[in-house]
Chains A and B, each alone.
Chain A
Amino acid sequence: MDETIEYAAATGALSSIWLLVALPLLSAAVLLLGGRRLDKTAPVLGTGVVAVDFVLAVYYVVTLADQSNRAVSLQVFSFIPVNGLQVDAGLLLDPLSAVFILLITGVGGLIHLYSVGYMHDDPGRRRFFGYLNLFVAAMLLLVLGNSFVVLYVGWEGVGLASYLLIAFWYTRPAAATAAKKAFIMNRVGDVGLLIAIFVMFATLGSTQFSDVLGGAAALTGGTATALALLLLLGACGKSGQFPLQAWLPDAMEGPTPVSALIHAATMVTAGVYLIARASPIYNLTQDGRTVVAIVGAVTLLIGCVAGCAKDDIKRVLAWSTVSQIGYMFLAVGLGPAGYAVGILHLLTHGFFKAGLFLGAGSVMHGMNDEVDMRKYGALATRMKITFATFTLGYLALIGFPFLSGYYSKDLIIEAAFDKGGTSGWLLGGAALLGAGLTAFYMTRLMLMTFFGEARWDEGAHPHESPTVMTAPMIVLAFGSVFAGFVLVHVFSLESWLEPVFGAPPEADHVIEPIVVTLLVLVLVAVGIAAAWLFVGRRQVARTAPVSVSAVVSAARANLYGDALNESVLMRPGQWLTRALVFVDNKGVDGAVNGVAALIGGSSARLGRAQNGFVRTYALGMLGGSILVVAALLAVRFG
C-alpha cells in the first residue's frame, strides 16, 4: 500500500452524505432544546431519524458499490486554516466507513426502537433520545471524517454522549462518578491520539487521511512506531483496553440500551476502527503491531477472568465486551492478515453483544431492574422470547459452530497462530484459552439466569417484554446466527475491504485450521462443563460467598486495576493538590504579600487599607509621574 492514496470527489447522490451526520444532530438539538411539549413525540422523532439515516446509509453504500472508485471524499467547509495547516471539515465514504455506517445506523436504529419500550415510563426520555441521537451523529462523524482532526471531533463527541448517557440517572452518585471516570480515562487516551496528530502535521504537513496515509511510506521507522503507539493509546482509552479498561464496566450505570449501543456494539469498537484506518502506518512497524496484539491478548484474558467472577449480569457482559474487543485488537495487531478479520469480528460482535445486552435489559425489565444474577433463576419459561434470542446470542458469542462468532473468532485464533514464532504461539494460546473462559462465564450466566431454581425477590413477577422490545432482539438474534456465515461465504467482507487493506497475504498455516477449530471446540466444551460442575449442579446462594480463594477475590476486584489507579494516580494526585493549595496560600502568596506590604506600608495597613490605600495610590501615581517627567527631560535635554 505505498502508492499514493487518492479519493475521488463525491458527486451526484454521494455529495449529500453529510446528511447522515446532520439529521441526527439536528434531531438531537430539537429534542434537547424543544422543552416538555416534545416529551410525547421524542421517541418517535428520535427513532425515526435513525431509521431514515439507515435507509440513507443503505442507499449510499449501494451507490458506492456501483462505482469503480470505491472511495469518495466530500469537502464540506474549511475548518481550521492557518497557513501550512489546512484542516477541512470533510467526509470520506469508502468500504471501511461504509461497513460502519451500516452497523451504526442499523444496530443503532434497532436499539432506538427497543428504547421506545424500555424508557417508556422514564420522565427523562426526551433527554434520553436527544443524547442517543447526539451519539449517533458523533459516531457517524467519527467513521466518516476524512482527516484525523475530524475523526477526533467525532471521537470526543461520542465521549461526550457516552458521558451524558452513563450519567443519565445522575442523581445516583454511582452513575455520576462512573460517567466522570469514563470521560477522564478516555481523555488519557485522547492525549495519545492528539499527539499523534501533532506528529503527523510536523512530519507530513497534513492531517488529511489522503496525505497522511498516502505519505506514510516516507516516514522513518521510529516515527511510524511512535505514531502507532500513540494511536494505540487513544484506541485503548476509547475501547476499554489494558491499561485503560477500568471505566467500561462502571459505564454499566447507564440505561441498558446505552450499554448495548455505545458500550458494546459501536463506540467502544472505535479503537479498532482507528487502528484499521491507520493500517498504512501500522504496516510500516512490526513493533507497533506487536504491541497492539499483546495489548489485545492481555486484555482479552483480563476481561475473561473478571467476567467469571461477577454476579451483576451487565458487568459480566461488560467484561465480555472488554474481552471480545481484545480479540479485535489482537486481530488488527496481526497486520494485513488480521485487519479484515478484526472488522468481521467487530460486526458479528455488534450483533450478538447488542442482542445479549438487550436481552439482559429485557430480563431486568421483567425483574424490577434487578441486576444480581443470584436473584434470578428459572426465567427460561417465564420469558420465552428473551430466552430464545439470548440463547442464540450466547451460542454465537462462545463460538458454537456455524453461528456468527464461530466464523470471526476462529479466524482470529487461526491468524494468531499463523503469525508464527514464539509470539504466534503465545498470542494464539491466549486467544484459545480465552475461548474456553468465555464459554465458562457465559454458561455460568445462562445457568444462573434462566435455569435452576427461582431465587427471586418477593414481589417479583417476571414477565416477557412488549413487542417493541422483543422485535429488535429477534432481528439481532438473526444477525447473531447468520451474520458470520453471510459475511464469509455469501458476501465476502474480506474482498469488500480489499481496496482499504489490500489483499491479505496467503496464510502459512502453523496449525491446520481444522485443528484450531477442534481445539477451540474442545476448550469451549471444557468451559461449559466446568460451568455446569461449579454452577449448574449446585444450589446458587442468594448472596455471594465471602470467603473465597485469592484468585476469585482478585477476579472480583477486576485484577486490582482500580486499586492500582487509585494508589498510583488518584491518591498522590490528591496529596499533590492539597500540598500545592497550602504552598500557594502560604508560600508564594505569603512571600509576595511581604513584598507588597513593604511597598504598601505595613501588612496590617494592607488588610484594612481603605484609607492607607488612597495615599499609597496617590503616592504611587505621583512617584510614577515624576519619574516619567524626569526621565523624559533627561533624555530630551541630557
Chain B
Amino acid sequence: MNTLLLVTLLLPLVGAAGVAVLPDHRQLLAKQLTLGISLVVLVMTLWMAVGFDTGGERFQFNSSYTWIADFGVRFSLGVDGIAVVLIALIGVLVPVVVAASWNDEPTGERSMKAFFAWLLVLETMMIGVFAATDVFLFYVFFEVMLIPMYFLIGSFGGPRRQYAAVKFFLYSLLGGLIMLASVIGLFVVSNNQLGEGTFAFDALRQLEITPGTQKLLFLGFFIAFAIKAPLVPFHTWLPDAGAEAPIGGAVLLVGVLDKVGTFGFLRYCLPLFPDASRFYAPLVLVMSVVGIFYGALLAMGQSDMKRLVAYTSIAHFGFIGLGIFAFTSQAGTGAVLYMVNHGISTGALFLIVGILINRGGSRMIGAYGGLARIAPLLGGAFLIVGLSSLALPGTNSFVSEFLVLVGSFTTQPAFSIIAAVGIILAALYILLMYQRTMHGPENPRLRGVRDLDKRELATLGPLIALIIVLGVYPKPVLDIITPAVDATMVDLGTNDPAPTVAEEGNR
C-alpha cells in the first residue's frame, strides 16, 4: 500500500471544499489557495513520475479499499506508465490554468471563487479517472467528472455556454450509460468465470471472454470513448464546448478530459477485449484517418479561433487513434506521448487564443492582423506553440507524431501513408491562422495593445519550455511509457513486426 496517489487524488477535493467555504469577498485568498494546492499537487505528481520504477511492476503506487463489498467493488488506485505521465500532465496544466484565469471576470452570476473550487474538484476527478484500477471506480470518475466541467462551461463560458454545456453533458452521459452496460457485462462474465464478480482490472484482463461477447462489450466502451476523444462522427459537441468554455476550462477539456477517451481505448478496450479490438481495428482506423482530414479541413474553414483550435484537436485525436489501433509498441508509445504533448501544445494554443481575445475583444480571426509587430513576445510564443501543433521537429509533437506514423507503417502502411499526408494540412491551418493574426499590416484597432505581461509569461513559459525539452530529449518520458505499452501489447497478444529484410535473412 502506498498512499501517495490517494493523497494526491484527495488533496484537490479537500482544497475545493476549503475554497468553497471562503466568504465571497475573499476572492484573492480563494485564488491563492487554489494556486497553492495545485502547485502542491504538481510537485506530488512529478514526484510520482520521477519515482516510477520503469523496470518494476506494471501498476505502482497502489492502494485498495473495500467499497461495496457485495458487488466486489473496491476503491483501488494505481498507475502504470501511461497513467502516471497523464497525471503529471494534469499536475502541470491545473496551476497553469489557475494562473491563466487569475484576472478573469465572471461571465454569469457565479463568482470566480466557484470557478476555482470547481477547478479543484475537476482535478480530483481527472486524476481519479486515470488512477482507478477498478473498472467500476473508473466508471464513477468518468461520469462524475462531467459535473465540474458542466459547471465550468455552463456558468463561466461564452454567450452560448448553456447550449454548449448541455450538449457536452448529454453526449458524455449517453456514452457513459452505454459503457455502464458493458461494465455490468464484465461483472457478469467475471461472475460466471470466477464464481465471484469483480471489477478489478488485473482480474478482468485474465478472463477468457468469447469473441461474440467481446464484440458487444467492446462496443459499449468504445462508443463512450469515441465520444469522449472524440472521433468523427461523434465530435460535434467539441467545437461548441471548446468555443464556449472559458479558456481555462477549454484547456482542461481538450488537454485532459478528451484523453480519457483515448486512454480508455488503450487501458480497457485493447487488454480486455483483444479479439474484438482486432476485429474492429479497421473501422477505428478509418474513423481515425477520416478524422485527421476532416478535423484539419474544418479547422481551415473556421473564422472563430477557439473553434479552429477545437477542430485541430479532432485531427490530432485521429493520429492518436491510429497509433493505438496500429498495435505496435512504437505507435502505441507514440500515441501516449501524443496525448501528453497534445495537452501541452493545444493547452498552450488555447491560452494564446485567450490572450488574443483579451487584447482584441473578439474570437474572430479577421479582427486581428499585424500583431507580431505590436506584441513581439506574443507573436513569438504563438509561433513556437503553433509549430508544435504542426509537429515541427525540435518540438514535442514531432516525436509523438513520428512514432505514431513510423510505428503504424509496419502494420498499417496504407493508413500511415494517408495520415502522413495530413501533416501538410496541419501546416496549412496553423500558418493560415498565424499569418492572418500576426502578419500583414497592423490592424488599427489593435494599436497600443499590451504585449505579454509577467503573469502571462509565467503561464506560457513552462509549457513552451516543455515543448522544447520534450522535443529534444523525450527519452525519460518514453522510458516510462514504453513498458506499459509493451504490457498492453502482451495483453493484446501482438508483437512488433520484424524488419522485412532481416526476416527474409537475405542480408
A contact set with B: CB distance below 8 Å? 32, 77-85, 149, 152-153, 155-157, 160, 167, 170-171, 173, 175-177, 180, 183-184, 187-188, 190-191, 194-195, 197-199, 201-206, 215, 218-219, 573, 576-578, 580-581, 584, 588-589, 592-593, 596, 599-600, 606-610, 613, 616-617, 620-621, 623-624, 627-628, 631-632, 635-636
* B330 and A180 contact, CB distance less than 8 A: no
Query: A29 → chain B, closest Cβ, in Å?
Result: 10
Contact A202–B410 (Cβ < 8 Å)? yes
Excluding A78-B475, A624-B177, 19 further A-B contacts by CB distance (< 8 Å) are A80-B474, A81-B478, A82-B329, A82-B330, A83-B482, A83-B496, A84-B330, A153-B398, A167-B439, A183-B427, A202-B413, A203-B500, A215-B507, A596-B174, A623-B177, A624-B143, A624-B176, A628-B184, A635-B188
Q: Mark B308-339, 1 if CB is under 8 A from A, else 0.
A: 00000000000000000000011001100000
**Chain B residues within an 8 Å CB radius of A83:** 329-330, 482, 486, 496
Asked whether A80 lies within 8 Å of B478 as measured between CB atoms, the reply is yes
B1 an interface residue at 8 Å Cβ cutoff?
Answer: no
- Chain A residue, CB-CB nearest to B171: A596
| Interface pair A218/B439, CB less than 8 Å apart | no
Give the distance in Å from the alpha carbon of A194 to the alpha carbon of B403 in the complex: 11
Establish whether residues A617 and B169, one from each chain, have CB atoms under 8 Å apart when the complex forms.
yes
Smallest distance from the beta carbon of A217 to chain B beta carbons, Å? 8
Q: Does B473 lie at the interface of the complex (its beta carbon under 8 Å from any beta carbon of A)? A: yes
Chain B 40-84 against A: per-residue CB contact (8 Å), 1 yes, 0 no? 000000000000000000000000000000110000000000000
**Per-residue interface assignment for chain B, residues 475 to 505, with 1 indicating a CB less than 8 Å from any chain A CB and 0 otherwise:** 1001100100010000000001111111010
Q: Chain A nearest CB: distance from B209 CB in Å? A: 15
- For the complex, would chain A's binding face be called helix, strand, loop or mixed by DSSP majority? helix
What is the 8 Å Cβ interface bit string for chain B, positions 160-190, against chain A (1 contact, 0 not)? 0011011101110110110011001001100
Q: How far is the CB of B90 from chain A (nearest CB, A)?
A: 24
Q: How far is the CA of A470 from the CA of B268 in the complex (A)?
A: 69
B59 to chain A minimum Cβ distance, whole angstroms, is 21
Q: How many angstroms from the CA of A636 to the CA of B199 in the assembled complex?
A: 13
Q: How far is the CA of A616 from the CA of B160 in the complex (A)?
A: 19
| Given A83-B486, A197-B406, A578-B301, also A184-B424 (CB < 8 A) | yes
The CA of A202 and the CA of B482, in the complex, are separated in Å by 19
A459 CB to closest chain B CB, in angstroms?
A: 25
Q: Which residue of B lies closest to A150 (CB)?
A: B393
* Chain A residues in 8 Å Cβ range of B507: 215, 218
A233 to chain B, nearest CB (A): 12
Q: Are B373 and A171 in contact (CB under 8 A)?
A: yes
CB-CB under 8 A from A632, the residues of chain B are 71, 184, 187
A-B contact count (CB 8 A): 217
Task: Name which residue of chain A comes closest to B438, CB basis.
Answer: A170
Q: How far is the CB of B187 from chain A (nearest CB, A)?
A: 6
- Cβ 8 A contact of B402, one of A80, A160, A219: A80
Would you call A85 and B406 a contact (CB within 8 A)?
yes
User: Does the CB pair A198–B499 fall under 8 Å?
Assistant: no
Q: With a CB–CB cut-off of 8 A, which chain A residues contact B237?
A: 592
Looking at chain B's contact residues, the main secondary structure is helix
Q: Which of B163, B432, B486 has the most CB of A within 10 A?
A: B163
Q: Which 7 A-B pairs have the closest CB atoms?
A: A205-B499, A176-B439, A198-B409, A581-B301, A153-B393, A589-B236, A577-B301
Contact B166 A609 (CB under 8 A): yes
Closest CB in chain B relative to A137 CB, distance in Å: 11
Pick the contact of A191: B70, B302, B423, B432 (CB < 8 A). Answer: B423
In the bound complex, residues from chain B placing their C-beta under 8 Å from that of A573 are 297
* Chain B residue with the shortest CB-CB distance to A191: B420
Contacts of B174 in A (CB 8 A): 596, 599
Q: Can you report 25 A-B residue pairs in the complex whose CB atoms are below 8 A from each other? A: A79-B473, A80-B403, A81-B478, A149-B402, A156-B394, A167-B439, A170-B440, A171-B439, A173-B441, A187-B424, A191-B421, A198-B417, A201-B499, A204-B501, A215-B507, A580-B294, A588-B233, A589-B236, A593-B167, A599-B170, A617-B169, A623-B177, A628-B180, A632-B187, A636-B191
- Bound Cα distance from A635 to B196, whole angstroms: 10
B442 CB contacts on chain A under 8 angstroms: 171
Residue of A nearest to B486 (CB): A83
Task: Contacts A83-B330, A170-B372, A632-B187 given; indicate if A580 touches B162 (C-beta within 8 A).
Answer: no
Q: Are B440 and A577 in contact (CB under 8 A)?
A: no
Q: Check A592 against B236 for contact (C-beta < 8 Å).
A: yes
CB of A584 within 8 A of CB of B298, answer yes
Please name all residues of chain B whose beta carbon is closer than 8 Å to the beta carbon of A584 when the two chains form the complex: 236, 294, 298
Specify which chain A residues have a CB less than 8 angstroms from the CB of B403 in the assembled complex.
Answer: 80, 82, 85
Number of interface residues of B (CB under 8 A): 90
Shortest beta-carbon distance from B217 to chain A in Å: 14
Which A residues are in CB contact (< 8 Å) with B496?
A: 83-84
A173 touches B473 (CB 8 A): no
Nearest A residue to B191 by beta-carbon distance?
Answer: A635
Minimum C-beta distance from A195 to chain B (A): 6
A580 near B297: Cβ-Cβ < 8 Å = yes
Render B419-458 as a binary contact track against A, CB cut-off 8 A, 1 for contact. Answer: 0110110011001100100111110000000000000000
A183 with B501, Cβ < 8 A, contacts A191-B424, A580-B297, A635-B197 known: no
Given contact pairs A85-B406, A215-B501, A588-B236, A624 touches B393 in the complex (Cβ within 8 A): no
Interface presence of B36 (CB below 8 A):
no
Known contacts A83-B482, A152-B393, A171-B370; is-contact A581 B233 (Cβ 8 Å): no
A584 to B239, CA, bound (A): 10
Interface residue B506 (Cβ < 8 Å from any Cβ of A): yes
Q: How far is the CA of A205 from the CA of B498 in the complex (A)?
A: 7
Closest to A610 in B: B162
Given the interface pairs A610-B162, A636-B70, the reply to whether A157 lies near B394 with Cβ below 8 Å is yes
A34 to B431, CA, bound (A): 25
Contact of A580 among B169, B197, B301, B497 (CB under 8 A): B301
Cβ contacts under 8 Å, A195 to chain B = 409, 416-417, 420
Q: Which residues of B contact A197 (CB under 8 A)?
A: 406
Is A156 in contact with B162, judged by CB distance below 8 angstroms? Answer: no
Among the interface residues B380, B399, B403, B502, which one has the most CB atoms of the partner chain A within 10 A? B502
Q: Would you call B392 an interface residue if the criterion is a C-beta within 8 Å of the partner chain's C-beta atoms?
A: yes
Shortest beta-carbon distance, A16 to chain B, in Å?
19
Question: Which residues of chain A are within 8 angstroms of B167 by Cβ–Cβ distance?
Answer: 593, 596, 606
| A188:B410 contact, CB within 8 angstroms | no
Q: Which residues of B contact A624 (CB under 8 A)?
A: 143, 173, 176-177, 180
Q: Which of B162, B478, B501 is packed against the most chain A CB atoms within 10 Å?
A: B501
**A204 contacts B502, C-beta separation under 8 Å:** yes
For A190, the chain B residues whose CB sits under 8 A away are 423
Which chain A residues lie closer than 8 Å to B432 at the CB level?
Answer: 180
A201 and B410 contacting across the interface, CB-CB below 8 Å: yes
A620→B173 contact, CB < 8 A: yes
B405 contacts A by Cβ under 8 Å: yes
Nearest chain-A residue to B177 (Cβ)?
A: A624
- Say if the beta carbon of B126 comes within 8 Å of chain A: no
User: How distant is B127 from chain A, measured CB to nearest CB, in Å?
Assistant: 22
- Interface residue B300 (Cβ < 8 Å from any Cβ of A): yes
Among B170, B392, B431, chain A packs the most CB atoms within 10 A around the CB of B170
CA distance A149 to B399 in the complex (A): 10
Question: Given contacts A84-B496, A184-B424, are A600 and B439 in contact (CB under 8 A)?
Answer: no
Distance, CA A355 to CA B380, complexed state (A): 33
Residues of A within 8 A of B393 (CB): 152-153, 155-157
Which A residues touch B163, using CB under 8 A?
606-607, 609
Checking A176, A203, A592 against B440 with a beta-carbon cut-off of 8 angstroms, the contacting residue is A176
Would you give the shortest CB distance from B161 to chain A, in whole angstroms?
A: 10
For residues 221 through 254 of chain B, which have their beta carbon under 8 Å from a beta carbon of chain A? 233-237
Asked if B92 is at the interface (CB within 8 A of a chain A CB), the reply is no
Chain B nearest CB: distance from A285 CB in Å?
A: 15
